[in-house]
């Protein structure tokens, strides 16, 4: 597919600059998977959605997210990968023909770039240099952890260079402190009365057979568990809206490929709650360094009155808190999510950030205005859709 915005807004007539731009922004598939995986292990901040097995699968087939490119940053020897930002043009992201690059969206709602913890300032500096060499006048960092270590490194470099990033939007989402005792955490979060009600619902669920929490990790068991999740997700409201993963061939291919790849490196689990032989809820959990990422949840609506999604999340909470390798979990949920927020009481800020690449650049003001107009139009469209569904 021809990247119109890259041709119209970022590149210049064939020249040495074109060759430099081609080296600065490369196809995602051009990044050596071994180097990428090694960088992920050294990353200053975990991001399960930018692991190579996940993001390469997204870019290969996922609906509206294919053919991502990358800004790679190498150290002074040009042999060690120390930074990576999967990216796309502003045109491909939102049909805005201005010279900016945008975080490639990896399906999960976290796009913090991978920055080497052994050289965070050098990595951040070189990522910004790569963006300039690619012809971009700004970066749009979507869904980044605003107070995370990756954004901290970028901010240090921007402040040093006299550049001021702008937070375009932000929200607070739920996280789990998995260093605590799981049962104690749940008692503090939910209170005795709510837990008693959930135990009553679980006893009612047991009337359909013994309730069991299962965790699939190995490739031989994770494939069937994933298919169970896909069927449950499609049986609910996502299936009615046509947004379940299995309802789009590209999305189904992506998730099967991604889960298989991450199973090889023990970086994914499929969790399932069963009543007897019947699966009533299932979810996908990614793992990167000491953090887990709760990607998606599917439930059997026939058992909705027993809160199967909540029951599964309670078991997941205990499971993660009992795992010494996991210190925290990102819900990757929306703001004020009604199910996860009361259970996982930790909070952190996620936002979209506009990063100028040159001082006093009038083009950045144009990009900012175009993004604001796009955001307003998108919000109006969502309000209209909600009204139509009432």
- Looking at the fold, whether 59 and 142 belong to one and the same domain comes out as yes
Q: Is residue 172 very low, low, confident or very high in pLDDT (cuts 50, 70, 90)?
A: very high
- Looking at the fold, whether 159 and 192 belong to one and the same domain comes out as no
pLDDT at 385 (0 to 100): 64
Question: What are residue 331's DSSP bridge partners?
Answer: none
pLDDT at 93 (0 to 100): 95
pLDDT in tens, 305-316: 999 999 999 999
Enter the pTM of the model. Answer: 0.93
- 121 within domain boundaries: yes
For residue 236, give the CATH number of its domain. Answer: 3.40.630.30
- 337 within domain boundaries: no
pLDDT at 389 (0 to 100): 62
pLDDT at 377 (0 to 100): 85
- 334 within domain boundaries: no
- Looking at the fold, whether 166 and 227 belong to one and the same domain comes out as no
- Looking at the fold, whether 194 and 286 belong to one and the same domain comes out as yes
- 118 within domain boundaries: yes
- Looking at the fold, whether 303 and 355 belong to one and the same domain comes out as no
- Looking at the fold, whether 149 and 277 belong to one and the same domain comes out as no
Q: What is the DSSP string of 159-186?
A: HHTT---EEEEEEEEEEEETTS-HHHHH
In eight-state DSSP terms, residue 367 is H
- Looking at the fold, whether 260 and 154 belong to one and the same domain comes out as no
pLDDT at 11 (0 to 100): 40
Place of tokens 């690449």: 357
What's the rounded Cα separation, in Å, for the pair 148 and 164? Answer: 17
Q: List the Cα angle 126/132/133 in 5-degree steps.
A: 85
- Looking at the fold, whether 50 and 138 belong to one and the same domain comes out as yes
- Looking at the fold, whether 183 and 219 belong to one and the same domain comes out as yes
- 153 within domain boundaries: yes
pLDDT in tens, 114-156: 999 999 999 999 999 999 999 999 999 999 999 999 999 999 9
pLDDT at 6 (0 to 100): 43
Average pLDDT value for residue range 200-220: 96
Burial (CB count within 10 angstroms: exposed 0-12, middle 13-18, buried 19+), residue 353: buried
pLDDT in tens, 33-51: 999 999 999 999 999 999 9
Average pLDDT value for residue range 184-198: 97
Looking at every residue in the chain, the average pLDDT score rounds to 93
- 331 within domain boundaries: no
Q: Which domain holds residue 267?
A: 179-326
Q: List the Cα angle 74/67/248 in 5-degree steps.
A: 140
Q: Is residue 12 very low, low, confident or very high in pLDDT (cuts 50, 70, 90)?
A: very low
pLDDT at 384 (0 to 100): 73
Pairwise pLDDT comparison (389 vs 222), residue with the higher score: 222
- Looking at the fold, whether 188 and 167 belong to one and the same domain comes out as no
- Looking at the fold, whether 86 and 165 belong to one and the same domain comes out as yes
- 72 within domain boundaries: yes
Domain count, the chain: 2
- Looking at the fold, whether 88 and 167 belong to one and the same domain comes out as yes
pLDDT in tens, 266-286: 999 999 999 999 999 999 999
Q: What is the DSSP string of 260-307?
A: HHHHHTT-EEEEEEEETTEEEEEEEEEEETTEEEEEEEEE-GGGGGG-
pLDDT at 45 (0 to 100): 98
Answer whether residue 67 shows pLDDT above 50.
yes
- 282 within domain boundaries: yes
Answer whether residue 14 shows pLDDT above 80.
no
pLDDT at 13 (0 to 100): 45
pLDDT at 16 (0 to 100): 64
Q: Is residue 21 very low, low, confident or very high in pLDDT (cuts 50, 70, 90)?
A: confident
The number of helix segments (H) and strand segments (E) in the chain equals 13, 13
Average pLDDT value for residue range 88-95: 96
Average pLDDT value for residue range 110-114: 98
Answer whether residue 161 shows pLDDT above 60.
yes
């Amino acid at each position: 597919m021809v990247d119109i915005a890259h041709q119209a807004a970022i590149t210049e007539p064939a020249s040495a600059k074109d060759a430099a731009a081609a080296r600065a922004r490369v196809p995602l598939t051009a990044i050596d998977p071994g180097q990428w995986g090694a960088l992920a292990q050294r990353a200053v901040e975990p991001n399960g959605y930018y692991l190579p097995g996940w993001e390469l699968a997204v870019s290969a087939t996922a609906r509206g997210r294919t053919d991502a490119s990358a800004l790679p940053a190498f150290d002074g020897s040009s042999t060690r990968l120390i930074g990576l930002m999967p990216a796309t043009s502003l045109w491909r992201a939102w049909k805005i023909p201005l010279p900016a690059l945008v975080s490639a969206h990896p399906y999960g709602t976290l796009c913090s770039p991978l920055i080497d913890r052994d050289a965070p300032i050098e990595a951040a500096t070189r990522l910004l240099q790569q963006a300039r060499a690619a012809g971009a006048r700004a970066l749009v960092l979507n869904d980044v952890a605003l107070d995370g270590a990756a954004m901290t490194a970028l901010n240090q470099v921007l402040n040093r260079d006299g550049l001021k990033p702008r937070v375009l939007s932000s929200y607070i989402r739920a996280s789990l402190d998995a260093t605590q005792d799981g049962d104690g955490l749940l008692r503090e979060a939910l209170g005795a009365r709510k837990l008693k009600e959930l135990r009553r619902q679980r006893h009612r669920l047991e009337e359909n057979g013994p309730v069991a929490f299962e965790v699939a990790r190995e490739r031989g068991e994770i494939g069937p568990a994933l298919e169970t999740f896909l069927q449950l997700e499609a049986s609910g409201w996502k299936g009615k809206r046509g947004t379940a993963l299995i309802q789009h061939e590209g999305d189904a291919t992506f998730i099967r490929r991604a889960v298989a790849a991450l199973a090889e490196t023990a970086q994914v689990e499929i969790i399932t709650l069963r009543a007897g032989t019947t699966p009533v809820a299932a979810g996908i959990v990614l793992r990167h360094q000491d953090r887990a990422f709760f990607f998606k949840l599917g439930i059997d609506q026939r058992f909705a009155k027993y809160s199967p999604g909540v029951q599964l999340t309670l078991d997941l909470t205990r499971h993660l808190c009992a795992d010494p390798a996991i210190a925290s979990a990102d819900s990757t949920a929306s703001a004020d999510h009604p199910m996860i927020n009361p259970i996982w009481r930790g909070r952190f800020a996620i936002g979209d950030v506009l990063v100028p690449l040159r001082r006093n650049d009038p083009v950045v003001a144009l990009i900012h205005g175009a993004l604001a107009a796009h955001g307003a139009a998108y919000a109006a469209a969502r309000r209209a859709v909600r009204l139509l569904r009432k």
